[in-house]
A and B are shown apart, each in its own frame.
Chain A
């Protein structure tokens, strides 16, 4: 790439409170238009906002989880602009004194992406384009949002996507949002400028708004890079402007330029003014944070010995990591990890199922089953069979394990069968001795068939090798 990309993100996240930020209307997704409304969220004359306690808590929790300084005093402010989805012709947001300052996200490539701030604000309603014209639905109006603003520290599309994924995983794990981009509970604006490698000053940036999927983000960045590179390459100047992205065309287009940009005329919201949190409250919120996914992932790799890839899969959703931790208690972590990832994940198909993972086999029961397998009391075939049975009936493993299953072949008995296997598979023995490693499997296979799968294959292999010499 000829130019270096400099990217900053503004990410809007809907908080998963039950009610809107200033009124008691439900925030439930998908209601029929204008059925989740009241005089307050439709901006009727004479109405006043009453701030949702939980929204403040969730926002502070998000700030704590992203390593921000949560402020004891922040100010709500009115941001003025005119658009039909904004009933009061101003959005109540935060300007001069936001709830959180600073913060960061650490990427896997070792780079730290600093955050500028996080603030609370209300969402606008929705403009729906129909054949009869522009329709306005205020159901979404007033849903609490946090806006997470990053410094222009991102440099590649991969970094951007990892950053977004990190936000998703972290915010989900602390229960403040479901971060579902396809449902609009998370969206982002990309601020992008180019400069020559080694340059220290920033170029002029464009802002592409309202990207609501990872593919859109990636495509918009790609398009903007190409567009700006062409302008700069021809000796031109990039215009500072706001752009929209079309998923159909994969292109961004200008929405408005700086000359026509709004003067938001921010001033402190007189009906609320200050959002106050005591130091004790902030400390309590910070201390109540669960182990965050990033820390958990490091622990799974460093202490439990899992691969980063496996650790990432297991830490993505709290439901999964909690299950895993219970299931692996007292065992080799890899045992539970492998079983969950290869066997159990194969049973589900959607991300939503993983997010709200609730397997029919309880973690406790799985732990017991895996323990039996790890200690050699049952073999792989039995493990598979019993697991399948446990998914049908909620009973512990012992309900399905017979005496046959746990019959272990005493070393003598096993040795005898192996001796016979070597005797009756002379060709395979010869093949193995002449270098065909695979021939060994055939001999082990004989032992397994003879024992109806109940012998320990690894022990059998060892014994056979010992006999062969």
Chain B
């Protein structure tokens, strides 16, 4: 797959112009989108205009930032002034923000070229991207399967060659899981590494923005570009720059293998992830058997906290200042109820009701409060583990990409997040990288989990794996641009 480094090289060596590259990606996106639906909005004019500005810089002999002129897909819950930001919901179908998210500001200063806004699960709630009001994107690896969620459209664009990289968000696995399903790299930085200013909130204490890329080095480059501390977000801390520190060296690295993550796995996934552990061991890392029993409470803890915060964050969608408005109503209260009921899809409604339930008096202690305590227990257990090992290696998902026609109950659906949610609960960073394919050619992802603000270690280990396997698992899918 085309990488950021490759594009940068082409531009600097003047083998291609930014305008040419942008045109190819925008044209591919426009051509593929009716079927593949990786985008909700394609911003042709803005992309070409940004690309032309890069060409002018090149002509003036100015230095280019690593992301200059590189076309990307921005998940459609990140605020882009003047460009509609829908969260894949009817509620915000025509909502045009008048301010930029911190992430978008940062990328614009680096002359990034946005091809368009990426398709996603509605309000980031889902693991298949099937809840999008604009229709579900297809997995470029196999069009009968979902790309994963909630950043499904973003991962599909990168895998399908209509974006070189993507900016997604991850609350319970929404970057890592689609990355695994689509066979690309997905990084969820430490909570607080990337500013949430302008990220339309799902679960405030869990959401984090991160890159979806063709390879590990690209993920590091993008992280560096978006991880400055931001005073507009009280939870923002920033994180150290990593791209220049990547060595691919893992000698002496202690990698924890927590057996609880390997229970009940299909053999293909278990074998693949175990093989990746072996590859890292051969490269000099030390594998350590560890145990993390609290992990079993990760999912219920996550769903309680996430739904509670979601029910709160989505209260503001009432049609009074922006967004969908009901047309037929008896009074103000009826207007608000109808607006919300018409504007939100079923999964969003379910989670709002659930969130209201766990916060309501009589249930708060048993559910929300208990979940907060579990959260602290899980976080502190992670911290303890990182006293003995430097990172953990687990599968990213307990299955490969689901079929579109798979019928799962809500709980069965939630269970697919089992390996990813504990990471969000604790706020630690994690990266998913392709480590194999199953019998049907579907990608398998492995996950490395690191200490807080130590993205460098997990990026480095993932890079080591890439090197050790000669990038065998970074295969482009059909479609899109190939440079």
Question: A84 to B356, alpha carbons, bound, how many Å?
Answer: 20
Given known contacts A45-B79, A46-B79, A39 and B318 CB-to-CB distance under 8 angstroms? no
Question: A44 to B197, alpha carbons, bound, how many Å?
Answer: 11
Is A204 part of the binding interface, using a Cβ–Cβ cutoff of 8 Å? no
Cβ of B53: which chain A residues have Cβ within 8 Å of it? Answer: none
Total A residues in contact with B, Cβ cutoff 8 Å: 28
CB < 8 Å: which of B77, B312, B316, B360 contacts A87?
Answer: B316
Q: Would you call B309 and A270 a contact (CB within 8 A)?
A: yes
Given known contacts A82-B336, A270-B204, A46 and B316 CB-to-CB distance under 8 angstroms? no
Is B95 part of the binding interface, using a Cβ–Cβ cutoff of 8 Å? yes
Looking at B129-137, B226-234, B243-251, B444-452, the stretch in contact with chain A turns out to be B226-234
Is A150 part of the binding interface, using a Cβ–Cβ cutoff of 8 Å? no
Question: A267 to B312, alpha carbons, bound, how many Å?
Answer: 10
In the assembled complex, how far is the CB of residue A22 from the closest CB belonging to chain B, in whole angstroms?
9
Given known contacts A43-B316, A48-B234, A271-B234, A87 and B99 CB-to-CB distance under 8 angstroms? no
Cβ of A84: which chain B residues have Cβ within 8 Å of it? Answer: 320, 332
Question: A78 to B199, alpha carbons, bound, how many Å?
Answer: 19
Cβ of A39: which chain B residues have Cβ within 8 Å of it? Answer: 97-99
> Smallest CB-CB separation from B197: which chain A residue?
A48
Main secondary structure of the interface of B (DSSP, over half): loop
Given known contacts A89-B318, A271-B204, A80 and B101 CB-to-CB distance under 8 angstroms? no
Total B residues in contact with A, Cβ cutoff 8 Å: 43
In the assembled complex, how far is the CB of residue B192 from the closest CB belonging to chain A, in whole angstroms?
12
Given known contacts A265-B359, A270-B204, A45 and B315 CB-to-CB distance under 8 angstroms? no
CB < 8 Å: which of B197, B234, B315, B368 contacts A51?
Answer: B234
Q: Would you call A80 and B315 a contact (CB within 8 A)?
A: yes
Is A205 part of the binding interface, using a Cβ–Cβ cutoff of 8 Å? no
CB < 8 Å: which of B316, B320, B332, B360 contacts A45?
Answer: B316
Is B329 part of the binding interface, using a Cβ–Cβ cutoff of 8 Å? no
In the assembled complex, how far is the CB of residue A256 from the closest CB belonging to chain B, in whole angstroms?
13
Interface centre among B87, B200, B315, B333 (most CB of A within 10 A): B315
Question: A51 to B234, alpha carbons, bound, how many Å?
Answer: 8
> Smallest CB-CB separation from B98: which chain A residue?
A39
Is B186 part of the binding interface, using a Cβ–Cβ cutoff of 8 Å? no
Cβ of A134: which chain B residues have Cβ within 8 Å of it? Answer: 332
Cβ of B97: which chain A residues have Cβ within 8 Å of it? Answer: 39, 44-46
Q: Would you call A46 and B234 a contact (CB within 8 A)?
A: no
Give a binary string over A258-280; 1 marks a CB under 8 Å from any B CB, 0 the rest.
Answer: 00000101110011100000000
Interface centre among A39, A134, A270, A272 (most CB of B within 10 A): A270
Within 8 A of A (CB), among B54-101: 77-79, 85, 87, 92, 95, 97-99, 101
A-B contact pairs, 19 of them (CB 8 A): A45-B87, A45-B92, A46-B79, A46-B101, A46-B198, A47-B197, A48-B196, A50-B233, A78-B312, A82-B333, A82-B336, A88-B316, A89-B318, A134-B332, A136-B320, A263-B361, A265-B356, A267-B364, A271-B233
**CB within 8 Å of B: which residues of A?**
39, 42-51, 78, 80, 82, 84, 87-90, 134, 136, 263, 265-267, 270-272
**CB within 8 Å of A: which residues of B?**
77-79, 85, 87, 92, 95, 97-99, 101, 196-201, 203-205, 231-235, 308-309, 312, 315-316, 318, 320-322, 332-333, 336, 356, 359-361, 364, 368
> Which are the 6 A-B pairs with shortest beta-carbon distances?
A89-B315, A265-B359, A270-B204, A270-B205, A45-B200, A46-B79
